[in-house]
Structures are given as structure tokens and as C-alpha cells.
Structure 1
Amino acid sequence: MSRRRVLVTGATGYIGGRLVPRLLEAGYDVRVLVRSPQRLTDVPWAADVEIAQGDLTDLESVRQACEGVDVLYYLVHSMTSGGDFERMEQLAARNVARAAKEAGVSRIVYLGGLHPDAPKLSPHLRSRAEVGRILLDSGVPTVALQAGVVIGSGSTSFEMIRHLTDVLPYMPAPKWVRNRIQPIAVRDVLYYLLGAAELPPEVNRTFDIGGPDVLRYGQMMNGYALEAGLHQRPIAALPVLTPWLASQWVNLVTPIPRSLAVPIIASLQYDCVMHEHDIDDYIPQPDGGLTPYRRAVRLALGKMSDGQVETSWQNASIVGAPADPLPSDPDWSGHLVYTDIKERHTKAKPADLWRVIESIGGENGWYSFPLAWAVRGWMDKLVGGVGLRRGRVHPDKLHTGDALDFWRVEKIERGHLLRLRAEMRVPGGAWLEMRAEADADGGSIYRQRAVFFPRGLGGRLYWWSILPFHGVIFSGMANRITATAEALSARDSSRTASADSAHPL
């Protein structure tokens, strides 16, 4: 029996990028229709799919993409308000409906949005509902799943909750913070999308989908705060804050573009909860049930068993959890991260540079502004931290897990990489990374990176308060480490030359 072929539109988007690898795992042959194949360059599954280039507003390219397809996923929605986006979305939906019917596609699966039975919807909710109607009237059996706020790192709705809660200890907000919302974890959205592909052909209808919790928007923000280790935020509902003013406010205090904030906020003017639970009669709930909101937040934050936040900067691999970041996610999504990066080219041999890196801390010091390091250690002790008194376990060698003053060795690749995790008291997570790399001239390159994930407004203020000192401390550190490594190399070369002259051939 031949494998079923699936066409995914919107594969470079938030949901589509997470659905494709799960379709592959389920045994489907996957084709993706994208306008710019270059956007798939870094995704881990690009080599496992057939890539068709085209645009949904171009009927001929949609026809070609639909050839030989059994199931079509429609995961495209404009999040901008410029131009006549409603007309363009309807044109795209009509092209897909026509091409799918002509090609004999047996199932369309569409992901729309929960919306109330209101006479006047926001333009984006209205457009999503109209796209669903066009697909349902296509003559191809269609399932239109209608979801509310999707919880997962990279989801625009979740990122707005994350950034607003992180940055504001007090939240003046529009009155819609009192509206009821039924959020759903991204893993549950993907579960329903996969299940919808296998529904019998007589099913042609909409289904509401949502998680087990119905919350007010303010409760969602404070639920996030608790999971992120922040204090709950006092929230004042202001009746005068219009959707337009609210979007300006979101644009000001978060990295989310106003063009995205506008449609989200406009959609929050209504209660968005499930009106029916008929999906349970067709697709049984996943093992263990649907994901509660607080657990969905924990997954989106990448919480590990020890409560630490698992960060995505540490490696470029995609671990495959649906709440994890993907290369195709927008650059403003995910945890806010501050970095201080220094790079130095040195005549020192890589082995000598590594000797200096591995011997850092303890009695050997930190190669820059000793008084500043001592003061930071005293400050840490005053607030109950570990300070600088722990020193080193071994004068020259480090191992994963070793304590190193107020750091902990998180990862070591001997001869190449040392990564330290801060254990001093700071309002966030901090790492210091040092690398030794060979260059083409026989010397080496020293790369140094300080990384800080702020927790709440206090974390942001902390980073900016110490930023003036970074130019002195981290620059001096990079300069002294490379200078010390050069002195080691010069001394070794001198010894070698002396030995050669004392023992001529």
C-alpha cells in the first residue's frame, strides 16, 4: 500500500513548522508549498520533504502543488493589517479550494480561530471565519479546527503574554483583561491536526478546540508569572485604553511589532471559549488528557526537572518538543537574552590559550579588575549567595560539575570550550563561555561570550546597571587571557630554542 501524500501550506509558520516533522514521523510523504524555499534552509527536516515553490494567490502554482496529494493542510493566515488582506486571503482560499477539488484531494484540514457568535468580529477573526467557510464549501471534505490562544514558545499570542509579564511589575491594561479565554497547548493543537487527517470523508464541518482551562487574560498573565518565577502582577483594567492605544503600548514595552499586536488585541475584545466539544466524538483526547495551562507554560519555558530554564542558545540542534524554538520562528520570540561578545586573535598556540582558560578562577583570578570581582563576591555573600570563596577543586584541571568561585562548570570540551553557569544571586540566568580555536596563521582565536536571561523588570535593570562595567571587565579579561597565552607560547618557544642550541645535531 502506497504512503499517503500530504501538502502543507504555511510550513514556514509557527504551527506548520512543528507539524511537518510529526507528519513525517507518522509515515506520510510530505510536500510543502512555500514562496521562499530559502526560509527552510536551517530547519532540520528540509531534506526529508518535497519543496514546491509557489504562492497561494497564483492558481497555477497551487494546482501543481496539489497534484497527487491526499490531504492538504491550510495553515496560512495574514497577521498584518496593511492593504486589502481580507480580499487576498479569500483569493488564496478560493484557489486552494478549486485546485484541491480538481486534483481529487480527499481531505482539507484548516486551522482557524475561536470566535464568538457576535454580529461584528475583528477583521482578522472575520477573515479566518470566511476562509473556513470557503474551504467547507469547496466540495472537498474539510475539517476547520478553531483554536484560541496557542501556548508555546514562538506563538505570537504566548510571546505577548511572556514579554508583557516579564517587563511590567504593574500592568495597566484594557478592560479585555477580564475577558474569558480558553488557551490550548501547541502539542494539543498538533495532536488534533494529525488526527483530523484520518477522519472519514463524510465529516465536513468546524470543530472548536481548546485546553481544559477557561481563564481571564489577567489570570493567564499571572499564571505565566508564577511559572517563570516572578511575583504576580497587579492588573488595573482601564476602560479608556482602546485597541489601537493598547497596541501602541505593547509595541513600546515589548519586542512584538505593532503590526502583529493590532490583530491579536482586536481579537481579545471578545470572550473566546469553546461553544461545543464535538471533537471528542471524533478524535479521543490524548493519553493523559489535554494539557492544563500552567503545564503548557512550563513546557513553553523549557522548564527542566531542577526548575532551571533550558536555553536554546547553547546548541543549534532541535530537540523536537513542539514548544521548543525553531529557526523559522521570529527573532523576537523566545526568552529575552542579553549577550556580551568579545573576540581576540592571538599568536599563542591553541594549546597554550586553552591552558590559560582552564586555569581561570580561584587563586589564579579572573584576569581583569580584581577589585571588581572581589566586590561582586562580597555583594553576593551579603545577600546569601556563595561568593568567591569556593575557589577551584584542582589548580589546573576542570571537570563538568566543578564549583569555580561563584560559577559552576556546565560543559567542558577540553582544548576547545569552557561554559560556566553563574551560581551567584542574580535576577535571571547567567553564563560565561570561553573558546579556543586554531586560526590559519598558526595562532589562535579567543572567543568569549557572556549570556544573561533576565527575570522580570529587575533582571533588565540589573543588566543595564552593570553594562558600563562590561567594557572594562570583559574587554580586560579577553586582553589579559590572550596576552598570558602569548607569554606562555613565547616562553615555550624560547625553551625549545635553548634546548636545540645546547644539543646541536
Structure 2
Amino acid sequence: MHEARRKVLLTGATGFVGRHAYRALVDAGWAVRCATRNVAVAEQRWPNREWVQLDVSDAASVSSAMTGCNAALYLVHGMATHSDDFRREEIEQAQTFAAQAEDAGLSRIVYLGGVAAPDDASEHLRSREEVGQVLRAGSVPALELRASMIVGHGSLSWLIVRDLAARLPLMVLPRWLESRTEPVAIDDIVTALVLGLDMEMSESTWYDVPGPEVLSGRQILERTAAVLGVREPLMIAVPFLSPRLSSHWVRFVTRADWSVAREVVVGLKTDLIAEDHRFWELTGHHELVAFDAAARTALDAEHRDPPISGPWGLVERVLRLLGRHGS
């Protein structure tokens, strides 16, 4: 008789990280129950998966989705709901999830959060940290993995960087572009999530999951431009341009949803550096993807999408042509 496969509830299954995590979970031997708000739409796009309707603000919905599962990946971020009070909503949803996980007898929750931020952090960063605290306070062992910028096709922060590098040959340099972070490839994040489900833990805890390089925003834009094949943008320092003010010109250059992109940009006003690399050391995952390689992979994946049309599509094609001629 074959032993039944363990089942994991994959929340946020249609989102950027969830889409990448599904295949890795299956390859690792997990049976995956994919959760989404709109099952009908998800089933049309991915028909050969187990889907369940999930509203993380509804205890009954969470309980039903968890039935028969052994563990859960918590990849829910309320910022995308456009609510003015997403921070409170995220905390309440995490409380509901933790309580229902106990009732369902789950053995582990793995949550993808953000690198710890200073006291004056954006609402977005504070909310992610508070959600981790709520989940770790529950009775079900919870592992919080803290990442900064995730590099991959579909990542909001990557989309902002990619569009700025591709479309602006000249840009003012706000002081937040000197802030440093440790960009991490989506492939490494997915690996961390899968490893986290089986990592030995005596109690709930958290680890940073940084990428292999510390880069400033300026360096990230320069490196991205090089991978794109466009000329390195000329950056003029304007130290008094705040993240909130500069988020308005980001709005006109990128395809990212502005209400969400604004919170991401505001969160860039300070360094977001991991405390250590212990998670990678403890799990034996040492071959982290370098930034340039992760950027190339993201751009290669972009080629599966329809070409960018309209004025910005023309701008990108012209700048790439000039970049090739100038190299």
C-alpha cells in the first residue's frame, strides 16, 4: 500500500510567488491544494489542479480550505485589495488563519514576509512584519521567511525596476535610490518555501532569505539596463526628492498598479539588509542565483507575453536600438 502524500494548502496560488511555488511543491512530493478567491477563473487557466475557494477574512472559508491538509503556505498580501485599511485587514486575516490552522491540525505554516524595517517604515513593510508576528504567536509552528526585492517576471518590485531601466535614459536620482537591499531570485524564494515546510523547528521562528549581493537602487537600475541592452541611464542626484513625491513619476513610467507601487517605493527609503544568511546555511542551499542571471531569466520569461504596445513599447524599442549602436 502506498503511503498517502502529504497535502499543502497553497494560498495566493494565482499570484506571482504562488504560481512559481506550485511546480516546486509537486516536484518535492507534495499534493497541492490551490486556494483562490475565484475558482472558475483559475480552473480555466490551470485546469489540472485541485482548486478551492478561499476568503481569508472568513473563518468558515479558511476552515473548509484547510480540511485534510498537513501544512500551509501563507502568501496573502492585502495591499493588492486597494483597501485604505489593508494593514488592519491583514492582521485580522492572519489571526483567523492561525486559529483555523490549530483547529484543522496543521503541522506547519510557512509565511513569506519582508525584511525587518525601521520604525518609520511604510505601511506595507510594517504590515508584513505584523502578520509574521501574528502567525508566529499561534499554536501551530510558523516559519516566517523574510525577503526584500524578489527578482522574477511577475514581481511588482521587479516590474518597477525593469520599466524604469528600459524607459528612462535620463532620470532624477532620489535619495532612496542610494538605499541598499539584497535582491533574491524567485527560484531561490521557491526553494526556501519548500525547504521551510520540512525544516526542523522546535518552535515558531523567522529567518531572512537574502540574495547573494548587496546592491543600491542605483546599481540595480544600472545592472538591469545592461541586461536589457540599453544604455546606462544618466542619473542626476536630487536629494530632496522624497519617496512619496518620486512615486508620482514612477506612476507614469511603469505598468505597475500605482496604489500598490506607491507603497513599494515609499518602502525603499532605507536599507533593507538581512541580519544574516543562516537559513541558507542551515538548509545547505548555497548556490544562490546572482542578480544578473535572475534578471535575464525574468526578461526571458517576459518574451512569452505579447509585445508591449503603445508609446512605451516604441520608446523601449528605440532605446534598445540606440543601446546596441552605442555598445
Same fold (TM over 0.5): yes
Matches of 1:313 and 1:72 in 2, distance apart?
30
* Residues 1:109 and 2:110 are matched in the alignment: yes
For the 8 Å contact 1:168–1:457, the answer to whether it is kept is no
Whether the 8 Å CA contact 1:150–1:183 is kept in 2: the answer is yes
Shift of residue 120 of structure 1?
Answer: 2.4
SS at match of 1:163: helix
The 2-side partners of 1:302 and 1:63 are apart by: 39
Question: Quick check: which has more Rg, 1 or 2?
Answer: 1
**Which residue number in structure 1 is paired with residue 101 of structure 2?**
100
Partner in structure 2 of residue 299 of structure 1: 297
Give the Å deviation of 1:196.
0.4
- 1:328-477 equivalence runs, <5 A: 337-338=308-309, 455=316, 458=319
- CA-CA distance at 1:161 after TM superposition: 0.5
User: What TM-score do the two structures reach when normalised by structure 2?
Assistant: 0.91
Matched position secondary structure for 1:232: coil
Identity of aligned residues (%): 33
CA–CA distance in structure 2, aligned partners of residues 454 and 90 of structure 1:
42
Structure 2 regions of 5+ residues with no counterpart? 323-327
CA contact (8 A) 1:230 1:456 kept: no
* Contact 2:113–2:146 under 8 Å retained in 1: yes
> Taking structure 1 as the reference length, what is the TM-score of the superposition?
0.60
Give distance in 1, aligned partners of 2:56 and 2:321.
42
Q: Would you tell me which structure has more strand in proportion to its own residues? A: 1
Which of the numbers 39, 42, 62 marks the counterpart of 1:40? 42
Q: Partners in 1 of 2:221 and 2:55 — Cα distance?
A: 37
Q: Which residue is equivalent to 1:179?
A: 179
Q: Map Cα deviations across residues 250-290 of structure 1 (whole Å, 9 max, x no partner).
A: 1112222211211111110110111122213431115xx10
- Is the alpha carbon distance of 1:143 and 1:68 closer, same or farther for their aligned partners in structure 2, counting shifts above 3 Å? same
Distance 2:321 2:57 in 1: 43
Is structure 2 residue 1 aligned with structure 1 residue 3?
no
* Higher relative contact order (CA closer than 8 Å, sequence separation 6+): 2
RMSD over equivalenced CA pairs, Å? 2.2
Equivalent runs, 1:21-170 vs 2, <5 Å? 21-44=23-46, 46-49=47-50, 51-80=51-80, 82-116=83-117, 118-170=118-170
SS at match of 1:76: coil
Instruction: Give 1:18 shift.
Output: 1.2
Deviation sequence 1:303-345 (CA, Å, 0-9, x none): 8xxxxxx72148xxxxxxxxxxxxxxxxxxxxx5238xxxxxx
Show CA shifts across 1:410-460 (max 9, x none).
Answer: xxxxxxxxxxxxxxxxxxxxxxxxxxxxxxxxxxxxxxxxxx786465369
CA 1:75–1:147: 2 relative to 1, 3 Å: same
Q: Tell me if the contact between 2:110 and 2:144 (Cα under 8 Å) persists in the aligned partners.
A: yes
Aligned equivalents of 1:203, 1:296: Cα separation in 2: 33
1:439 corresponds in structure 2 to none
Q: CA deviation at 1:33?
A: 2.0
- 1:178 Cα deviation after fit: 0.5
> What secondary structure, in the 3-state scheme, does the structure 1 residue paired with 2:283 have?
coil
SS in structure 2 opposite 1:89?
helix
- How far residue 237 of structure 1 moved from its aligned partner, in angstroms, is 2.8
Q: Which amino acid aligns with 1:82?
A: S
CA gap of 1:25–1:280, structure 2 versus 1, over 3 A, is closer
Write out aligned runs for 1:313-324 (5 A). 313=305
Letter in structure 2 aligned against 1:458: L
Question: Is the partner of 2:78 in helix, strand or coil?
Answer: coil
Structure 2 CA distance for partners of 1:313 and 1:112, relative to 1, 3 Å: closer
- Answer yes or no: is the 8 Å Cα contact 2:43–2:49 preserved in 1: no
Instruction: Judge conservation of contact 1:12–1:39 (CA < 8 Å) in 2.
Output: no
Check the 8 A contact 1:174/1:241 in 2, yes or no. Answer: yes
Give 1:233's aligned residue: 233
Contact 2:11 / 2:73 at 8 angstroms: preserved in 1? yes
Number of aligned residue pairs: give it. 318
Q: Which amino acid aligns with 1:103?
A: A
Say whether 1:262 aligns with 2:267.
no
Q: Which residue of 1 aligns with 2:303?
A: 311
- 1:214-271, CA deviations, whole angstroms, 9 ceiling, x for partnerless residues? 0100100000011111111121232222222211111112222211211111110110
Q: Which amino acid letter does the alignment assign opposite residue 197 of structure 1?
A: L
Letter in 2 for 1:278: R
Equivalent residues of 1:165, 1:456 under 8 A apart: no
Matches within 5 A, 1:191-230: 191-230=191-230
Gaps of 5+ in 1: 304-309, 315-335, 340-451, 462-505
- Cα distance in 1 for partners of 2:173, 2:318 equals 17
What is the distance in 2 between the residues matched to 1:82 and 1:460?
Answer: 41
Distance in structure 2 (CA, Å) of the matches to 1:149 and 1:85: 21
Q: 1:292, 1:231 → 2: CA distance? A: 21
Match of 1:253 in 2: 253
